[in-house]
Amino acid sequence: MTVIPIKSTGSRFPYKNFVLGMIILQHAFENYLNWRQMKRLQQNRKIPSELKELNISEEEYAKSKEYTRAKLRFEIIHDSFSVLLQVLRIFFLFGPWLWNLTGKILESYGYDATNEYYRATLLLILDSLLDKVVDLPFDIYFTFVLEQKFGFNKNTPLLFIKDEIITLVLKFTLGPLVLCVFLWAVDKGGDYFYIWAEILVIVFVFIMLWIYPNFIAPLFNKFTELPDGTLKDALYKLAEKVGFPLKKLFVCDGSKRSAHSNAYMYGFGNNKRIVLFDTLMNHLEEKQIEGVLCHEIGHWKRSHTQKQMIMTFIQIFVLFYVYSFFRKEASIFLDFGYHEESTFLGLSLFLMVFSPLQFVFTLVSLKMSRKYEFQADEFADGLGYGDELIHGLIKIHKENLSNLDPDPLYASFHYTHPTLVERIRHLNAIKTQKAKKE
């Protein structure tokens, strides 16, 4: 698979200016959403009645707003800097310069500079290093200043450095391997490459679903089986009641990095495992943990994960299929300053040009995700865990200083979950309907 020189063409669509315009337009819209969110945070709003009735104090409400404001300011600065850098890179043709540099580096070490696998791998490594250099100051500030200020950071400089090194090693090993296999599939797939590329993506996703929890996650955290006791017995009993094939219950030492809490499940077929962060166990009572886990099992019962995966696979297929019409479009390369044609560059440029399509996909995914959260809440309530779930969610939001009253428009473009108030109202509405029927 070789890199091919491109000859100049006649008049062409201004792809570069289109992408720059879309980046600036999207950033302007994000700033509008941020402005709405910040304005809502600065208003002297009263605690929503649903939260006040559940004993959330004025002090807790104010502290969550303060934390949300601090994070929002950080995100505005970080995102603005990232967008500015992206615009400058595109405008001043940094991408073509870096691509040409990979060829010179390979030639200087006696490698074939026309080999796309070599060029793409080296470019991936250089880009990852540059991104890390740019983001590292922001990561350090967020972890050791912002999170520290609000009592969430439990990380140490040594552990932080270790995590960064492991992450880079994984990127430099798995990244090039996956990239080269993908480029090979596209090259050998011919006119119907998008079918083979889609199959490869599906296979890769399922492989990673097995590799990540078993080999990658343990590089960062320690996982131990939940000790025998009433909680373990109750969770296994719950799983048996709903037919959930639970094989193992693990506790993750999330507290060594952060005071934030979490829980998740993984596994294929009849081999499901549940992971509880130790912080979650410290924050919630046993019945509330049951309620939260019942909600998670509700996602499995309603096949939400499978539906989201299918939706993602459809979106990827659509992108590959549309890309097949632009695969050999030389003007795209030329307009961005490239004078060589390559599959890796072509797909990268295509994804930039069609970012509006990806934006639409993201909105659809967010809407689906929020719908599924409501359904999982309904499942938990149907098994009698409605009150435990509400109180568990309240505690999780309080402990994490989550935004208790976000701007509705901002939430619709950013939140994968409905707001806490929306979830409580939804569960209360279900209870009211049940009472009327009875």
Catalytic machinery residues:
296, 377
Owner of token pair 């009433």: 230
| Residues 427, 389 contacting (CB under 8 angstroms) | yes
**Residue 124 to residues 128, 332, 340, Cα–Cα distance (Å):** 6, 20, 17
Helix (H) / strand (E) element for 231: namely helix 230-242
Torsional sign, CA 279, 280, 282, 283: positive
Strand extents, DSSP E, 231-339: 246-252, 263-266, 272-277
How buried is 316 (Cβ within 10 angstroms: 0-12 exposed, 13-18 middle, 19+ buried)? Answer: middle
Owner of token pair 């480029």: 183
Which has the closest alpha carbon to 384: 240, 241, 228? 241
| Residues 139, 23 contacting (CB under 8 angstroms) | no
Contacts of 337 (CB under 8 A, 6+ apart): 16, 93, 95, 96
Contacts of 73 (CB under 8 A, 6+ apart): none
Residue count of the chain, please give it.
Answer: 438
* DSSP one-letter string for 342-402: -HHHHHHHHHHHTHHHHHHHHHHHHHHHHHHHHHHHHHHHHTT-HHHHHHHHHHHHHHHT-
